Structure formats: structure tokens, C-alpha cells
Structure 1
Amino acid sequence: MGCDGGTIPKRDELVRVKQKPEQKDKDAEREFRWLHCALTQQRLQEPIAMCSMGRLYSKQSVIERLLEKEKMPETSAHVRSLKDIKTLQLTPNPAFTDEDKTEGLLDTRHAPYICKLIGLEMSGKFRFVALWTCGCVMSERALKQIKGSMASACPLCQMPYGVEDVIVLNGNDEDLELMKVKSEMREAKRKSAKKEKKNAKKTETCVKTETTDEIASTSNAIEKPTTSSSSTSNKLKMIANPKRLGAVNAMQDPELKRLKTDFSVAKDPKATDVYKSLFTSHKTDKEQERAHWITYNPFYN
């Protein structure tokens, strides 16, 4: 076989081979995910937040999308409110400058944030994790190194956390499946804690009601004997108050009884006739014909 001019065709000119898909630049893709918002594809702006799947967002962009009630993309469909995102506590990289913000130069540029514990840059070359309880960010290597001594407290802020609170940032497909399981665990734990709190509050209310009823019944039982034994209480009050007791004893003195308006010497059994004769109430004064020498009673009829 030949062509005009005596040329010989090559194999790729005669056989059509299926073209291979264009290979993605892994470094560029990694850089894009760690420096851009997963919602708007714009460069990340502080404050930076993460979702339960470990994707990074500019918090302001998420708030605007929720306020406008726009439909979320498929990768962020699980973000329905601010409760579904967590603000991150990041450590700035002192080596990061304005020159590092330019595109390209992947080998020489620095990441904007680092691990506060061991100084690794958060560029995607190393795996980073964040805690859902406090939002602190650190490298996975650092967390594994100190996990033996501080397994239940954040090494940066000392806030307690569980296994389900460790979120891998920008993880692979296996990490995403694990993050879904952890999200379900946190939701179940939250509902359980809410239910326990509600039951505890209900129990506390019942205990308070029973205590109030017991106090009321006890007070009623105390008031009844107090009412029935008023004389006893009065005596106790008199004993407690000596002045009051002396006044009562003085009122019972027979000499003071004579000061009463209805008291009559003529009716006093203890008085003698001589003593009674001094008063006008005596029969001798009533039967005499002249006036009394004290009262000068003229005996008017």
C-alpha cells in the first residue's frame, strides 16, 4: 500500500485508538480545595467554617446562601442551617506573604495556615483534622502523637471531645463515608442528651411539687395544735416576756380588783363592818337623817 508520492502511512494514521481522558493536575486540584470555598469556588475568606463532611467554606457565603434560600449544590446539600457548619480556629502561618497569593509556583509558595502543635503547613500535602466541639485545627500526625495522654481533651483548648467529633478536612472517598457515620453518631448523641435533659427537668419539677405538698401538709399539722392550745401558747408567751407576766399577776391582785367600777365595799366578804361604815353604801349611812360628813349628801329624793 502506498500513497501519492511514494509515502508509507503510519499505524496511527490507519488505526483509530480511543483517546485517554485528560489527566487532572493533582497538585492544582489539591491547592484549589484548600484555598477556595466549596460553595462559591471563590478564595476562602475569614471566618472559615467546615461542614460535617470536612469541606471548607467562607462562613459569610454560607450565611448569604441560607438567607436567600437558594438551593445548595449537591456536595453541600446537607448544610441546611448554621448548626450544620462549625467555625474553625486556625493558626496563621508567619511565613505566608502577599507573594504567596499569586497563582502558580506550587513548589515555592507557602500555605496561609499551619498546625500549631508541630508547625506543618495546611497545604493539603499533610492530613489535617478539626474537632467539631471546639473547631480547633491541627495535623492528624500531631493528634496521633498526643492521643495517648490526652485522648479526651483538645490539646489546644482542653475542651472534651469524642471519637465522633474528629473531622478529616478535605478527605478522600473513604474519609467521606466515615464522616457520614460520625455525623449520624453526633446526631443520635445530641437527641439522647436532649431527651435526658428533658426527663431530668420533668423529674425535678415532680420533686419540687412533692416537696411543696409535704411542706404544706406539715405546716397545717403544726397550725392545728397551735390553734387548739391557744392558752398554752399564751402562757408560753407570758413566760418568755416577764413584763407581760407581771402585768397579768398584778391584774389578778385582789387589791386592784377594787379599782373596778362594779366593785362594792359592801359586798366584799373580807371587809369588816367598821371599814364598811366609812362608805355611803353602808346601811347606817343610808338610814341616817343628817348629811354625810364627807360627801355632804343632802338626801335628795
Structure 2
Amino acid sequence: MGCDGGTIPKRHELVKGPKKVEKVDKNAELAAKWKYCALSQEKLKRPIVSCDLGRLYNKDAVIEYLLDKSAERPNAETVVHIRGIRDIKELNLTDNPEWEGERRNAKGDRYEDINCGMFICPVVGLEMNGKHRFCYLQTCGCVFSDRAMKEVKTEICHKCGDPFKIEDVIVLNGTKEEVEKLREKMEERRTKAKIKKSKKSKAAEAAVSTPSESKADDTQVDVAGRSSQQNGDESSQSAVAGPSGSSASSRSSKGSTSSTTSATKRSVQSMEEKSEVFKSLFTSHSSAKRTKDQTSNWVTHTPYHF
């Protein structure tokens, strides 16, 4: 049973048993959620956004997904609920002064602390590394730890001072139960928005229909009023034209002809009430017409013409 070198193999080297299931380090898994984008699996870098379910993304990755949803991506199921840019919120994060990032020297052996987070809570100072619960406000996007929200109870943001409600608080990278609750809230919010939108559209249609009817009534009233006014003017003109003789009668006839011909188009030369000086301003006047002998041909000469 010996080999060339006199070695004796053991049983586990000859007989292959079942493979051991590799266990995932929970601390490393939690740290990855807070340091890498949930869609592209790249390192998080500003601007960082979050959805209604509390997942962290790079804004560039989400925009690329919205522009081309047909492209194949490994983690596309995590952003199915994102329909547009309104479904995400840019986060207002506080940098961790102890986070070195790319500034640290990578040469040589060095211990890398996975528990050191890139961001911290601006109130308590806890690091955002997965060990502590964090949440953000949908109104302003500021991020705080759950401990800060419980210890300092207020309805005003601790960082920017904007007012908020309890419904606006969303947990970041929560458990499965918390994600399901957030999903239910998201669906309720969207149904309410649809109902409001439908009500606004119906109100707008009603507002558009009522002014059109009122305008039609106004036009009818205006037409009736104008006709009555014209009749009154004609009667007054006829009353005044009695003692004036032939000149008044000619004026009334001219007024009647102008009112009748105003509806139809006619040339300026056929207008009797216009003077000859006014008619001569137009090309249709007899003075503007020329014979063939009076017209001239334009000839241009180039510098090469001799």
C-alpha cells in the first residue's frame, strides 16, 4: 500500500465524503449590506439613495436600470418595485471621521476592521455598520439611528429641522418582517395616490365642461345684444337722416353697404368711402400698373465682363 516515497495514504484521502456546507459569516454579510449597492454590488458612493423598502443603492445604478429595464442584471428582483425616480430618496448622510477608505495605505499586511462604517449617526455617534438599526426620513432624507429617534422624541428633524410624521420613518436594511410591513405601507400609499389622482382628473374635466357651457351662453347673449344694438343704431341714423336731405340718405346707404359687405372680402379699389389718395397706396391702383415698354430688365455685370 505504499507509494514511491514510502508514504501511506489515509482513509479521508482515498474516500471522498459529503461536502461540508460553508457557513456565511453574519457579521460580514451585515457589513456588506451597508457598504455595497444592492443592485450593482459595487461600493456605495455618493449620491446614495434608498427605496420605500429601505435598501441602499448607488443613484447611478438605479438611473441606468430605469433607462434600460430590459438589460439582464444579477439583482434585478431587488428593484422591481421602483417604477421611477420618485420612488427613491437621496439620503443625507453624515461621514465617519475614522473611516479612511481609499486614503489608507494598502501596502503590507494590515488588519481591516469590517465593523468600521462609512457613516455615523449625527446625534448619538453610532457607526452605520449593521450592528445598530438605522432609519431615514422620507421628507428630507436625513439618516439617524433608532436609538437617537427613541431617546430624543420630536416631530422635527434633528439635522435640518424639517417637520415629519411617524409614517415618514423607514428602517434601513431591516429584517424580513420589517420589509413586509414597509411593502404594505408602500402599496397603501400608492393606492391613495391613485385615488387622489383620479379625483383630480374628474374635477378638472368638470371644470373644463362648465366654462364651455357658460361661454356658449355668453356668446348667444353677445350676439343678441349686438344685433339689438345695430338695430338701434340704424333706427337712430334713419331718424337723424330725415332733415338732412340727400347727403344723409347717401351716408345711410353707405353705412348699410359697408355693414353688408363687411362679411364678404372685397378689394380696396371698390370701396367708395375711401379716397383716391388712400387707394393709390396699394399696387392694385391704376397708377401702379405699367406697360411692357415702361418695365425694365435688370442686368448684372461681373468684374470679368468687358
Q: TM-score range, shorter-chain basis?
A: 0.5 to 0.7
Gaps of 5+ in 2: 1-17, 246-306
Q: CA RMSD in A?
A: 4.1
- Tell me if the contact between 2:36 and 2:44 (Cα under 8 Å) persists in the aligned partners: yes
**Residues 42 and 210 of structure 1, relative CA distance in 2, 3 Å threshold:** same
TM-score of the two chains, using structure 1 as the length reference: 0.58
Deviations 1:109-138 (A, max 9, x none): 3x2223344444322232211234543323
What is the match of residue 122 of structure 1?
128
Task: Report the Cα distance in structure 1 between the residues aligned to 2:205 and 2:32, rounded to whole angstroms.
Answer: 51
Instruction: Single out whichever of 29-38 and 115-124 deviates more from structure 2.
Output: 115-124
- What is the CA distance between 1:171 and its match in structure 2? 0.3
Alignment of 1:3-22 (within 5 A): none
Q: Which amino acid aligns with 1:62?
A: V
- Greater gyration radius: 1
| CA 1:176–1:32: 2 relative to 1, 3 Å | same
Cα distance change on mapping 1:234 and 1:103 into 2, 3 Å: farther
Which position in structure 2 is the counterpart of 1:282? none
Task: Provide the TM-score with structure 2 as the length reference.
Answer: 0.57
Matched residue type, 1:127: R
Structure 1 counterpart SS, 2:170: strand
SS in 2 for 1:212: helix
* 8 Å Cα contact 1:52/1:167 also seen in 2: yes
Residue 89 in 1 paired to residue 95 in 2? no
CA distance in structure 1 between the aligned counterparts of 2:158 and 2:210, rounded to whole angstroms: 37
Q: 2:137 aligns with which of 131, 134, 144?
A: 131
Greater shift after overlay, 136-145 or 180-189?
A: 136-145
- In structure 2, how many angstroms separate the alpha carbons of the residues matched to 1:22 and 1:149? 46
- Unpaired runs of 5+ residues, structure 1, are 1-17, 236-247, 258-301
Distance 1:100 1:195 in 2: 58
Higher relative contact order structure (alpha carbons within 8 Å, sequence separation ≥ 6): 2
Contact 1:49-1:59 within 8 A present in 2 as well: yes
**Per-residue CA shift, 1:145-168, capped at 9, x if unaligned?**
566544xx89736376672x4321
Identity %: 34
Is 2:193 the partner of 1:187? Answer: no
Aligned-partner Cα distance in 1 for 2:155–2:139 = 19
Q: CA deviation at 1:224?
A: 3.4
